[in-house]
Structure 1
């Protein structure tokens, strides 16, 4: 997913960078000092060097008041390492508009204080964000996951809510699965295959664009080349129904983030077949007729109607 496509609008929420003054007082009659007050969410972010990129985004987005107010709010806060893992640098932040940054930041914010113990178990329980779109949360023995990404540090208490530090920047979904593939140059062979397959008895493009709660394992261009389709022309000359059978073997009829995958898990596909998930040094998925498993190279690309994981082999029924 291209950064400029993924980082699109954000309505405004307002982080503040005001500093809370802590005081203690004594009187002749009472020697007990006042308890120091907790800092607001935005003061915690602004004072923590691990959140310096988040602070920079907040400042650029002109989000300066709301999350310094009464709240309460819950913020899933990506630290600097999470920004790096998401391919977002200071230069990226500088290049984005106020609205783009606002969209991303508000998508990380939920109205109300939700500590980790009170996160819905799910899996993938829908929670509305201040931005308006939903995030999908899961809580189990491994911890808390949002859109498949793990909360690394939970329950950072603030005077007006709580912060959960998360391992990845959450991107509000802006495109359906087909549109997402069309915007990714590394999936152009997949797009060609979907369009060609839709000329047969199954309109694969319509299925992937309009059906909700799908998971697609998306082969890269090189994966198609390795599977015997050296050019897009070769895909366009292939039998549509054969392509449709192969493509629907890459689709699961449920939303499955990486956090939903387990070692030895069997996944049922839209064409009636099964895939095998193996988790070791690498996360892989294997088709019945593949001699080796396909490595999952990118995960949790959220679309408006599902989630996409990129793989390095075409799966064969």
Structure 2
């Protein structure tokens, strides 16, 4: 009996060992968890169209790479609303090259958490038709929440990925024109007011066009200074016809003139007719001397738009009127 009991114990032990061995051999190898930007987007039920778009544009693998990247990720609702403004029924109908640049306009080559964002310009990975070397600028406004190019709000921030960060946004950020950036930046409200004022030509339509345009854009402070300079009447005393000439004096076309290409003493001819030039001065910082020998400093450079570039200046340029 004792021998029989021992045999049973041995048999049970062997069975257990065999069972465990078989069980271990049948276990599948655990799949690595994809915590990249693409991997997290795939898992988000509100980013299905984004994933579809990234796959079609062959960017899904890019955003699985080492990065780091910051991606402003439009929701499905954002893409649906965007498509309604286009001739395309689905994301697959958008031409691949166009779709690629739109998607790249949501990507920054750095890790920018919400606490790192400041009001001002950052560079995306997208390119417009005006420049092949200077990627498109994005205007970030953190006055209330985070607003991008004046059209898209961050609704969920700081989704941390292994290769960067995702911020979910409520609107697709289209490729910005000169007008897009003029409207987005609150420091240009006086300029926008002048461009759209009574008696002015369709500057908005023109500067939304193909271009390319180079715009030397006076800030609100520049217009305030002009009001003082033209006292007591201020800019209100300038006729609509003369204001048109002043505004035309700030636009060069066809041209996408980047700051690095400006040269000392360069004479620039804007679209004002009859033509009047202004002069670039670089000693002590980039400046412009206008037809009235007044000096304006270039304070922000190379705000790249799809159809041109903006340089902000601190004084309104005046042609000979």
TM-score by length of 2: 0.49
**Greater share of helix residues, 1 or 2?**
2
Q: Greater CA radius of gyration, 1 or 2?
A: 2
TM-score by length of 1: 0.49
